DNA sequence: AAGTGCCCTGTGGA
DNA sequence: ATCCACAGGGCAC
């Protein structure tokens, strides 16, 4: 398993890396631990509720880096934190490298991890609705859906269109480098995600030079559209958390570069829209195998995308997005190899017939 | 509605 | 060596 930093970002200009202005509120850089001797605290989540390798390298975020055997690091707001697990130890530990205060960092972390949502309850619920989850649980226990910052999530998935993980990561690294530098861990640089204001000072040309291709205009266009929202783009994005799923998706789709798939990713990974189903070719494969076998081989049209999403929701309910994420993770190469040894295909019930309106 | 060509770039296979 | 399909889409006809 190679780390994506193996190829370093090619053309981050010195100017682009430079901080244009200091952050509005100065970050208090507390010495939370002596250099080289980080202090680890237990998190209020056991391995059943959080398994790091099943959560961070699964395509939900491209900002967190693997900084140890079972250790991932990333920034949440002004905080730079690491999470770690040890073999045979059921607890997950965290370490705060910098931030406003240790308590604030812990709260931000728990929020980011969606800690209030009980995976145990979800597994129990899914297993009743789908016997396949009984088998899946053996290997996918602890896989979570994150609750990311909406702007951060939006920009990341703007980069994801018709793209691969290695390049998405490179592009996200570039955007991140525009934010305040928080520290280095295991050779990785970590930055606070740049503000909307900071992002608005990046030109399409600069982004193209950095390798964004046609997605460059998505970024500048979306940033500009967000800035013109009454009350500011951040508040506008946050307000989508209170809307119904279809309204939130519709609002997101007004932004340039955001279509149904990207909107669903943002909704699920940052807007508390737990039943959002990002339908891409992978999910389509899963759906035609287990949920809609009659449609196997059909072309993935927009109409069929919504049928797939409906099928997931009708089978798994309010948290269908989480169910879909678990099935998706099961299909990732590393997990698939593990599962294949004993997993038998299970024929599932077909969802209730939907009449076309 | 649905179909098609196009948009950027890196990669692996033909 | 060169070409080409394709990679976790979106947009404009």
Q: Which residues touch strand B (CB under 7 A)?
A: A 7, 10, 162-164, 166-167, 208, 211, 213-215, 217, 299, 301-303
Burial class (CB in 10 A: 0-12, 13-18, 19+), A81: buried
pLDDT in tens, A125-134: 999 999 989 9
Please name the nucleotide lying closest to A204, CA to C1': B8
H helical segments located in chain A: 14-17, 102-112, 119-129, 132-140, 150-158, 165-176, 196-199, 204-209, 215-227, 233-239, 245-252, 260-270, 281-290, 302-316, 320-331, 333-340
* 8 A C-beta contact, residue A119 and residue A142: yes
- Cα distance between residue A345 and residue A333, in whole Å: 17
Looking at every residue in chain A, the average pLDDT score rounds to 84
Q: What is the pLDDT of residue A336?
A: 66
Burial grade of A91 (CB within 10 A; 0-12, 13-18, 19 or more): middle
Could you tell me which residues are beta bridge partners of residue A79? A76
Beta pairing class for A91-98 and A41-46: antiparallel
Specify which residue's alpha carbon is closest to the C1' of nucleotide C6.
A162
pTM of the model: 0.86
The two tokens of residue A347 are 């024929």
Whose C1' is closest to the CA of A212: which nucleotide? Answer: B8
The CA–C1' separation of A311 and B14, in angstroms, is 38
pLDDT for A268 beyond 90 = yes
CB A348 within 8 A of CB A132: yes
The single-letter DSSP state of residue A163 is -
Among A5, A10, A8, which Cα is nearest to A209's? Answer: A10
Q: Which nucleotides of strand B are protein-proximal, with an atom < 7 A from a CB?
A: 1-3, 7-11
Residue A349 CA, nucleotide B9 C1', distance (Å): 42
3-class DSSP state of A41: strand
How far is A121 from A111, CA to CA, in rounded Å? 18
Cβ–Cβ under 8 Å, residues A210 and A171: yes
Helix or strand holding residue A75 (H, E) = strand A71-76
User: Using N-to-C axis directions, what is the helix angle for A260-270 and A150-158, rounded to 10°?
Assistant: 150
Contacts of A57 (CB under 8 A, 6+ apart): A66, A72
What pLDDT does residue A312 have? Answer: 94
Taking only the tens place, the pLDDT of each residue in A139-148 is 899 999 999 9
Q: Can you give the pLDDT at residue A25?
A: 40
Q: How far apart are alpha carbons A148 and A177 in whole angstroms? A: 18
Q: What is the DSSP letter of A37?
A: B
Residues of A involved in catalysis: 261
Which CA-bearing residue is nearest the C1' of B2?
A: A301
CB A268 within 8 A of CB A283: no
Per-residue pLDDT tens digits for A314-343: 999 999 999 999 998 888 767 766 665 544
In this predicted structure, the answer to whether residue A349 has a pLDDT above a threshold of 90 is: no
Average pLDDT over residues A286-310: 85
Per-residue confidence (pLDDT) for residue A321, from 0 to 100 = 96
Q: CA–C1' distance A323–C9 (Å)?
A: 23
Nearest residue (CA) to C1' of B6: A214
Which nucleotide is closest to A306, CA to C1'?
Answer: B1
Establish whether the CB of A59 is closer than 7 Å to any nucleic acid atom in strand C: yes
Q: Which nucleotide is nearest to A161 (CA to C1')?
A: C9
State pLDDT tens for residues A65-124.
Answer: 999 999 999 999 999 999 999 988 999 999 999 999 999 999 999 999 999 999 999 999
Residue A293 has pLDDT above 70, yes or no: yes
């Amino acid at each position: 398993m190679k780390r994506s930093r193996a190829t370093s970002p090619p053309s981050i200009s010195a100017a682009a890396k430079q901080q244009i202005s200091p952050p509005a509120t100065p970050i208090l850089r507390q010495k939370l631990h002596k250099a080289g001797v980080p202090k680890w605290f237990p998190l209020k989540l056991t391995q059943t509720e959080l398994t790091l390798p099943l959560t961070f390298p699964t395509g939900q975020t491209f900002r967190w880096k693997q900084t140890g055997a079972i250790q991932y690091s990333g920034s949440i707001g002004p905080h730079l934190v690491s999470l770690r697990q040890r073999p045979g130890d059921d607890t997950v530990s965290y370490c705060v490298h910098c931030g406003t205060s240790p308590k604030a960092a812990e709260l931000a972390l728990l929020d980011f991890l969606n800690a209030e949502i009980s995976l145990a309850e979800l597994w129990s619920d899914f297993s009743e609705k789908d016997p396949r989850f009984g088998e899946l649980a053996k290997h996918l226990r602890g896989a979570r859906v994150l609750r990311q910052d909406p702007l951060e999530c939006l920009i990341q998935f703007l980069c994801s269109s018709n793209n691969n993980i290695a390049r998405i990561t490179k592009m996200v690294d570039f955007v991140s480098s525009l934010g305040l530098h928080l520290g280095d861990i295991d050779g990785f640089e970590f930055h606070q995600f740049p503000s909307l204001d900071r992002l608005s000072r990046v030109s399409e040309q600069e982004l193209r030079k950095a390798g964004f291709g046609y997605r460059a205009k998505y970024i500048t266009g979306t940033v500009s559209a967000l800035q013109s929202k009454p009350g500011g783009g951040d508040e506008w994005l946050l307000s989508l958390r209170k809307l119904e799923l279809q309204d939130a998706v519709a609002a997101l789709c007004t932004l340039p570069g955001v279509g149904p798939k990207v909107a669903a990713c943002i909704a699920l990974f940052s807007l508390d829209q737990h039943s959002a189903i990002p339908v891409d070719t992978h999910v389509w494969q899963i759906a035609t195998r287990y949920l809609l076998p009659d449609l196997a081989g059909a072309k993935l049209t927009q109409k069929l995308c919504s049928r797939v999403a409906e099928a997931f929701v009708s089978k798994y309910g309010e948290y269908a997005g989480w169910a879909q994420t678990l099935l998706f993770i099961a299909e990732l190469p590393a997990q698939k190899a593990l599962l294949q040894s004993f997993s038998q295909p299970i024929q599932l019930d077909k969802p209730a017939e939907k009449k076309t309106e």
